[in-house]
Structure 1
């Protein structure tokens, strides 16, 4: 197989032996099974590049697709390849691509918008109705050795940035977008509900924006211990508490009523507790995914003018988040990665995610 840059000149940055390796991919089925099988080396369309995927994080959404077959109205109806938190190296470049070369190190922005609809024209391309999002039904994802992806959604990462950190740009972008939607300001008291990867990403972005104090809540002490590594105060909530009790304990732990809750779990109990914990006129910003329908205490919220905002994925975040990681604004974000397994053990990586005794925060699948 001959690889070339868009200008037709070959590049020797890629070991030919690499290209002979099997293109192993991780699949999920509509009947809640995951399996691996080999795929053909991908074609390289004119406006795309082929990437050797070096690191891919496992997201909670992928666990939902595996265990429940759906998130909201998005259902697994046929076998698809999972994966959307990835970084890797360019190994082939399409004929029309001029801004990337073979050997470039890139982070993959997984949502490919159409750039023709009203939402795209208005700049809100995360709401593009025609978006092709990696690893979300019906589209195949990046959890494989080689993948073709449009060059417009590939972003160079610095030489000193690891591929593992390049793969963290995606979850950090979720937190970054939530903070932009919330319009956090210096000194705003904020609660982060959920100490998983998205909760930590939201907390890191909120702190960078000036929020204070910040309290993270979770059911699991091990996750709060991980949050403490980043310097965040935590409150272990109990399923035995009702929503008003949980709200009172949140306020007590903070020393004030939060003006904002970034809800990153999708749990109905957590969402309801957040509504009661907020100060009058406060804002619930929903980030986490959960059941399609959630009951809210609308009368209580209405009497207190509680605002509800949602945040969906991200837009124009990759260059900023890469810069923030490189500058150390988030601190040692690599500490989010608790487990790393090779591509050949991708199924074991998924099992680790659902094994509570493993105390996993972010599990990544890597390939050398």
Structure 2
């Protein structure tokens, strides 16, 4: 069961720079926890205007909130007051199972990677931001020295430090320090909530970029969660038509309908792949079969069904993360020349997504936000994500 550490209600009236005069030391146990995730705090506890509450997950599947010191602003970093953070399915995986593939939680970890906020301080070497700038946070901090980074595929950097993914601490705190290179200014008219949507939309736009749909190309999207719906919105904006969305939950398909997707199919787990494929093709109609399939669940049965539903020579884009090892019909894929493309996170998507959101090209995506909680109620927000009756899509934590 989730536990909450009691938080100090004292709000410092001193400035951040002078608050160290209190002489309070950061407990060694907390220093150790922070350092394991790549955060090196001052040994003297520094405070912001309010307690720097963070959401932690443990390797034994607990989540808790605990106050941490105000962060140190390195010369190439900015201090950001995180104003909005979305909860991703990956965070639920780390909480409930302790891993995604080979990536495991082996120490107390601060979660979070879908965030936007306000810059409070800039490092000595930072010239393109100032205090008060509003930014969306790109969570993957890469080395910019390896072959992948230099070739433009920095999403594949082997030394990436990705916020909220073991071993790196994330953005689910009130104040964080983040490299200025991975901050992106958002328009004044864009809310922080929408700025936090740039990350999941980047996953969708990154997947679209991997396969480049053609105008009028039939598309199947497996999974009507936040990423599946974001992919469907992005595919439609790219010209795909028709777009069919499948899911196990009727409530999620209803939400897809409300986003303007009229072709949906509720999957029954008692169906074998032949029945599933027949049902998918029946919805498309006899004159139309999917040429692209975006698989957003990671479930083996969904991947296999998507493959068989495709037209010969079609393309399966794998986005969802499931078990570390999955069986696939490789020979059948070969005989039918089905292309398989894996899409991992994103690269160079932030400016594009911010522009598409601001210009209302992806306006429907803002409807993905179904629940909002204050930072102090982050644990309640996580419980909402895993409560089926809540019918949540994107749950966000905000700090006004």
Please state how far the C-alpha of 1:248 moved relative to its aligned partner. Answer: 1.1
Query: Which whole-Å CA distance do the structure 1 matches of 2:359 and 2:282 have between them?
Result: 35
Please state how far the C-alpha of 1:2 moved relative to its aligned partner. Answer: 5.3
Residue 394 (structure 2) aligned to one of 342, 362, 368: 362
Unaligned runs of 5+ in 1: 4-17
Residue 253 (structure 1) aligned to one of 260, 265, 283: 283
SS of residue matched to 2:53 = strand
Please state how far the C-alpha of 1:240 moved relative to its aligned partner. Answer: 1.0
Please state how far the C-alpha of 1:298 moved relative to its aligned partner. Answer: 1.6
Please state how far the C-alpha of 1:56 moved relative to its aligned partner. Answer: 0.2
* Matched ranges for 1:185-334 at <5 A: 185-232=214-261, 233-255=263-285, 256-334=288-366
Alignment size in residue pairs? 354
Query: Which whole-Å CA distance do the structure 2 matches of 1:162 and 1:143 have between them?
Result: 18
* Matched ranges for 1:47-196 at <5 A: 47-196=76-225
- CA deviation vs aligned residue, 1:136-163 (integer Å, no higher than 9, x gap): 0000000000000000000000011000
Unaligned runs of 5+ in 2: 1-14, 18-46
Residues 2, 75 of structure 1: CA spacing in aligned structure 2 closer, same or farther, 3 A cutoff?
Answer: closer
Contact 2:16 2:49 in 1 (8 A): no
Contact 2:216 2:239 in 1 (8 A): yes
Question: What residue in structure 2 maps to residue 346 of structure 1?
Answer: 378
Query: Which whole-Å CA distance do the structure 2 matches of 1:50 and 1:148 have between them?
Result: 4
Please state how far the C-alpha of 1:27 moved relative to its aligned partner. Answer: 0.4
Contact 2:233 2:364 in 1 (8 A): no
After TM superposition, the score normalised by the length of structure 1 is 0.95
User: Larger radius of gyration, structure 1 or 2?
Assistant: 2
- CA deviation vs aligned residue, 1:119-150 (integer Å, no higher than 9, x gap): 00000000000111000000000000000000
SS of residue matched to 1:19 = coil
Query: Which whole-Å CA distance do the structure 2 matches of 1:161 and 1:183 have between them?
Result: 27
- CA deviation vs aligned residue, 1:303-339 (integer Å, no higher than 9, x gap): 1111111000000000000000001001232210000
SS of residue matched to 1:90 = strand
Contact 2:16 2:48 in 1 (8 A): no
Query: Which whole-Å CA distance do the structure 2 matches of 1:77 and 1:244 have between them?
Result: 41
Question: What residue in structure 1 maps to residue 10 of structure 2?
Answer: none
More divergent stretch after superposition (228-237 vs 54-63): 228-237
Instruction: Please provide the CA RMSD for this pair.
Output: 1.0
SS of residue matched to 2:188 = coil
- CA deviation vs aligned residue, 1:74-116 (integer Å, no higher than 9, x gap): 0101111000000000011101100000000000000011000
Query: Which whole-Å CA distance do the structure 1 matches of 2:99 and 2:362 have between them?
Result: 32
Please state how far the C-alpha of 1:34 moved relative to its aligned partner. Answer: 0.5
Query: Which whole-Å CA distance do the structure 1 matches of 2:148 and 2:364 have between them?
Result: 35
SS of residue matched to 2:244 = strand
SS of residue matched to 2:78 = strand
Query: Which whole-Å CA distance do the structure 2 matches of 1:296 and 1:193 have between them?
Result: 16
Query: Which whole-Å CA distance do the structure 2 matches of 1:332 and 1:174 have between them?
Result: 16
Instruction: List, as ranges, runs of 4+ consecutive aligned residues in structure 1 with deviation greater than 3 Å.
Output: none
Query: Which whole-Å CA distance do the structure 2 matches of 1:78 and 1:239 have between them?
Result: 36
